[in-house]
Amino acid sequence: MSELKTEIDLAEAGLDPSRLRRLDENLARYVDDGRLPGWLVTVSRHGRLAHVSSYGARDAEKGLPVEPDTLWRIYSMTKPITSVAAMMLYEEGAFELTDPVSRFIPSFAGARVYTGGSDQRPVTVPVTEPVRIWHLLTHTAGLTYGFQRVHPCDALYRAAGFDVGLPPGMDLAAACDAWAGIPLLFQPGAEWNYSVATDVLGRVVEVASGQRLDEFFARRIFGPLGMTDTGFCAPQDQLGRLAALYALGPGGKAVRFDALGDEARKPPSMLSGGGGLVSTAADYHRFTQMLLPRADSPAGELDGRRLLSPRTVAYMGRNHLPGGLDLEQFGRPLDPRAPFRGVGFGLGFAVVIDPVPGRVVRSLGELSWGGLASTAFWIDPAEELTVSFFTQLMPSSAHPIRPQLRQLVYQALV
C-alpha cells in the first residue's frame, strides 16, 4: 500500500502554513453545512508531499471518517491513465496517432455523422475522414455521452442504454460497436466534445496490446508505479475503505446515491478507460509525480521506473486543438462553473494556454482533469506543484470547488 505522509517541510516547499490553513478552513465549510460528506486534499512541491489534510466522513450514515487509505471512485481521472497507456504503446510502434480507429475496431469503418432531424429520425452523412486515434485522445472524434442531454445524439446514447450507467452485461468490445453505430455529432476533428472517446481508446489499448485493459494497467502502469490500491472496483476484502457516493440534493445538500455507488463494489462487465477506476490519494499522487517534470527527474519516470519519454509527456501536454484555440472557442460547453477560457486540450489532459481569460490564478502549461464525483487534480510544471482533491459528490459542477482550490493553493505559495 502506498503511504500518504508529508515528505517536505512547508517552508522548504515554499508554502506559508498560516495561509495554507485557509485551504482547509474553506473546504471544511462544505462539510459543516452539508454540501459535501468529506474530502481529502494533497499538495506536493518538487516531487514531495508537502500538505495532506482531510475532513468529514467517507460514509456519513455509518459515521466513518475519511482516512488516508480511503478508496475513491475517480471516474474521469481514469482518462489520463488510459491516455498514458495508449502513448506507451505508441512509443513501442503499435500504431501511429493518425491511424484509423477501424484498424483496431472494424465497426468504426462505417461511422456516419448527424446533420439534422431528431433522435427519432436522424439525418446522417458518411464521415469525410476516418475517426483516428488522435481524435480519441483529444475528444474531437464526434462521440458524446448520453448524460449530457444537449444534442439529439445524446438521446440516441440513452436509448441504447448509455446514460450515467451502462447496459447490464455489456463488455467494452460490444459497447464500442454500439457507439460506432450511433451517429457522430460532427465530422472528426471539427469540434471538441467530451465523450466516450477514452473508453474507445481503452479498447484500442486492448487490441493493440493483446491484453485486457485491467491487465495492461496492472502490469504496465500500476505495478511499476507502486499503485497497489487502484483497480476497476474495490477489492471484496477492502470494501470498508470505499467511500459512499453522494449526489446533489435539495438545498444543495449531499444525498447518498447507492444505486450508482454500489457499482464500485463488484467487478464491472465493461472495463471503462474513461471512468471506471477506484483509487486512493496516495496512488494517484504517484501517477501525477510520474508526469511532473522536476529538476532532479525528467517527466515520464518515478523511482527509476520509466513509463514514457520526457518528450512524449511534453507532447501530450501541448495544446492539440487546431489553430491554438481554447476549449471555449473550439468546444461544446461542459461545466458552466469552470469555463475553459484560456484552456486547450492535449493528449488526455486539459492544458492552460493563457492563464488570464479564465479569471483564476494558474500557470501556463498546467495539466489537469477531474472526475464526475467532484475529484480533481492538476500538475503545474512551472511551479513543480501537484494538487489532488478527493470527495464523492455528483455532479462535479454542483459547487465551485475546483476554481476555489486553485486560488487557495496559489495564495499560500510564497
Q: What band does 333 get if pLDDT is binned at 50, 70 and 90?
A: confident
pTM metric for this prediction: 0.97
**Whole-number Å distance between alpha carbons of 38 and 55:** 5
Find the range with the poorest average confidence among 58-72, 329-343, 380-394: 329-343
pLDDT at 262 over 80: yes
Q: What is the pLDDT of residues 181-229, one digit of tens each?
A: 999 999 999 999 999 999 999 999 999 999 999 999 999 999 999 999 9
* Average pLDDT of the residues in 107-132: 96
- Contact of 132 with 108, CB cutoff 8 Å: no
Per-residue pLDDT, averaged over 56-80, amounts to 98
**Rounded to 5 degrees, what are φ and ψ at 255?**
-120, 130
In the predicted structure, residue 26 carries a pLDDT above the cut 80: yes
Q: What is the pLDDT of residue 298?
A: 92
Q: Give residue for cell 439525418.
A: 123
Q: How far apart are CA 20 and CA 42, in angstroms?
A: 12
The pLDDT assigned to 162 comes to 96
Which band of pLDDT confidence, cut at 50, 70 and 90, is reported for residue 165?
confident
* Tens-place pLDDT, residues 136-162: 999 999 999 999 989 999 999 999 999
The pLDDT, as a whole number, for residue 182 is 98
Count of positions (residues) in the chain: 414
344: which 3 cell numbers? Answer: 486547450
d(CA 207, CA 200): 11
Query: Could you give the CA distance from residue 125 to residue 140 in angstroms, rounded to a whole number?
Result: 17
Q: How many CB atoms lie within 10 A of CB 356?
A: 11
pLDDT for res 2: 66
pLDDT at 334 over 80: no
Give the pLDDT of residue 339.
67
| Angle at which helices 79-91 and 197-209 cross, to 10° | 40
- pLDDT score for 336: 61
Q: Cα-atom radius of gyration of the chain, to the nearest Å?
A: 20
- The pLDDT score that the predictor gives to residue 338 is 59
* 377/388 Cα distance (integer angstroms): 4
